[in-house]
Amino acid sequence: MTETTQTQTTPDSAYSAYKPSSPEFRAAADALRGLRQDLFHDAFAYRPLPRMSVDRPLTRRLSGRMRERAAWLPHATVATAGVLAMFLAWASGGGSTAALLCGLLALAPVLLTLVRPVGAFWLSLAATAAAAVVGTSWANWPWLPGSFLSHLTVLTVVAIRTRPRTAAWMWVFTAAYGFFVRTGFGWNHYSTNIAPMLFLSALALLAVTVWHIRRSAEREMTAQQTVTAHERSRRTLLEERTTIARELHDVVAHHMSVVAIQAEAAPYRVENPPPELEKAFATIRENAVAALTELRRVLGVVRAEDYEAPDAPQPTLADLDALLANVREAGLTADKVVTGAVRELPQGVELSAYRIVQEALSNTLRHAPGATARVEIGYVLGGLGLRIVNGPAPTVALRKSTHGAGHGITGMRERVSMLNGEMTAGETDDGGYEVTVFLPVVTAEDPT
């Protein structure tokens, strides 16, 4: 069977309708779209100016009432600029009724920036034209003195509250308004202040744009630092869990080896054991050997490339005396107090307790060299209690060591969480540090 494919030719008229536009056309369309969005779409939308944050170095030193008032500082600054513009318009007009009207026309747009910023710009242009008609000025035209200050304030405040693109569009419309009135109505005026207005407004808007760019860069840097800190914390947590898994491998492997050996030797302890019993012990031994093999395979996954298996067995609470002797040689005065009936605990609990004490003493050596430390071990009903507390350093170090900062607490919390225990850590009233841990111990009689 033969398939026939037919190809239809698209007419030129249809192709021309979907012909991609040129880059210049797209740029102009994007510019007009941005103009509509910035200055025309919801121009008089209600957008009140938020209060200033008082969580700053200067405002933190103020009292409660003064801090509440300091939050309204931006509003007071804008209102003060509007009042200055009003008095300037009134004084330059000789205090007449027309001068008072020009002053109100200068004040209204500035106050409107507090609630409707984009609408305040359009009102400022309209108020400028109205003041030029009502007032009289031959030199300061088309912006009368009050209108000049008012429009500069409006441009600056609106630029701060919006974005750099809006500031550029406002400057363009200000220039267009100046050239329009100069061309159409400036025949009977000797000089104009269009150039000073454009120059000063360009400087103000440029400064605001630089401020916007710097603030945006600071926000991006803060966000990046937050992400980096989160990733560093997550990586530290994974590293600590891997370390704990490697250490507990020896403990679990020892128990599984004992199970395998006992299962193999058990049939020889009974004379003429039944075949079912021999088969059961053989199954137990096979499962124990298989578990050991899988455990070694998992260890190979979590093991670092430079990891070397320890030659000595994992430490327990019986090795704390040697640990305390080492830290004393390093310059730390450390004492140990044991309460309760000393008994043998599961190897996982012993290892975790030893590592917690070791890390707490290491943190004392790093952050409070020369201080005194006290290790309290309490054998209580249902578990083991630990308390490692150190006093403040006798002398303040000029430069604190940051090696491993934060990793020790993370590792201790992971070990405690693994054993379903509880832990608290924090500074003491005298400037030292205290770590309190409770590790529950489940006995064979009470598996819950």
HEC profile of 279-333:
HHHHHHHHHHHHHHHHHHHHHHHHCCCCCCCCCCCCCCHHHHHHHHHHHHHCCCE
Contact 437, 422 (CB under 8 A): yes
Averaged pLDDT for residues 127-131:
93
Place of tokens 């050997």: 289
Q: What percent of the chain clears pLDDT 70, i.e. is strictly above it?
A: 83
Place of tokens 């305390």: 324
Q: How far apart are CA 99 and CA 313, in angstroms?
A: 95
Nearest of 423, 363, 370, 360 to residue 394 by alpha carbon: 370
Q: Which two tokens stand for residue 116?
A: 């409707």
Q: Read off φ and ψ for residue 180, nearest 5 degrees.
A: -65, -50
Residue 52 lies in a domain: yes
Residues 293 and 329 in one domain: no
Residue 4: its pLDDT value, please?
Answer: 44
Q: Which of 139, 167, 192 is the last residue of a domain?
A: 192
Q: How far apart are CA 167 and CA 208, in angstroms?
A: 9
- Residue 344, SS3? coil
Residue type, 431: G
Query: Whats the size of the chain, residue-wise?
Result: 448
Residues 105 and 77 in one domain: yes
Residues 50 and 74 in one domain: yes
Residue 415 lies in a domain: yes
- Above 60 in pLDDT, residue 279? yes
Peptide bond into 142 cis (omega under 30): yes
Q: How far apart are CA 169 and CA 164, in angstroms?
A: 9
- Bridge partners of residue 422, in order along the sequence: 438
Residue 209 lies in a domain: no
pTM over cut 0.75: no
Residue 393: its pLDDT value, please?
Answer: 80
Residues 178 and 256 in one domain: no
- Residue 249, SS3? helix
Residues 47 and 144 in one domain: yes
Q: Which two tokens stand for residue 288?
A: 């124990």
Q: Which of 267, 302, 337 is the last residue of a domain?
A: 302
Residue 299: its pLDDT value, please?
Answer: 60
Nearest of 117, 118, 106, 54 to residue 81 by alpha carbon: 106
pLDDT band at 295 (very low <50, low <70, confident <90, very high): low
Domain at 324, CATH number: 3.30.565.10
- Bridge partners of residue 97, in order along the sequence: none
Instruction: Count the neighbouring beta carbons within 10 Å of the beta carbon of residue 427.
Output: 10
- Residue 184, SS3? helix
Q: Which is it for strands 372-380 and 333-339: parallel, antiparallel or unpaired?
A: parallel
Q: Which of 166, 192, 218 is the last residue of a domain?
A: 192
Going 63 to 64 to 69 to 71, the CA torsion angle's sign is positive
Residue 308 lies in a domain: no
Residues 325 and 294 in one domain: no
pLDDT band at 110 (very low <50, low <70, confident <90, very high): very high
Cβ burial, residue 392 (10 Å; 0-12/13-18/19+):
middle
- Residue 20, SS3? coil
**Which range is most confident: 12-16, 62-66, 150-154?**
150-154
Averaged pLDDT for residues 22-34:
81
Residues 254 and 176 in one domain: no
Nearest of 57, 82, 83 to residue 70 by alpha carbon: 57
Residues 297 and 340 in one domain: no
Q: How far apart are CA 201 and CA 216, in angstroms?
A: 22
Contact 197, 174 (CB under 8 A): yes
Residue 388: its pLDDT value, please?
Answer: 94
Averaged pLDDT for residues 127-151:
86
Nearest of 84, 76, 202, 94 to residue 147 by alpha carbon: 84
Residue 291 lies in a domain: yes
Q: How far apart are CA 168 and CA 180, in angstroms?
A: 18
pLDDT in tens, 322-381: 889 888 888 788 899 999 989 888 888 888 899 899 889 988 888 888 889 999 999 998
Domain of 271, in residue numbers: 236-302
Q: How far apart are CA 95 and CA 87, in angstroms?
A: 9
Place of tokens 């054991």: 273
Q: How far apart are CA 314 and CA 301, in angstroms?
A: 20
- Bridge partners of residue 379, in order along the sequence: 384
Residues 280 and 323 in one domain: no
**Mean pLDDT score of the chain:** 81
Residue 16: its pLDDT value, please?
Answer: 47
Averaged pLDDT for residues 282-304:
70
Residue 197 lies in a domain: no
Alpha helices in 61-193 (DSSP H): 64-70, 73-92, 97-112, 117-134, 145-161, 164-185
pLDDT band at 167 (very low <50, low <70, confident <90, very high): very high
Residues 89 and 183 in one domain: yes
Give the CA radius of gyration of the chain.
40
Q: Which two tokens stand for residue 410?
A: 């993370």
Residue 307 lies in a domain: no
The tally of domains found in the chain comes to 3
Residues 323 and 295 in one domain: no
Averaged pLDDT for residues 162-169:
92
Residues 59 and 30 in one domain: yes
Contact 352, 415 (CB under 8 A): yes
Residue 278 lies in a domain: yes
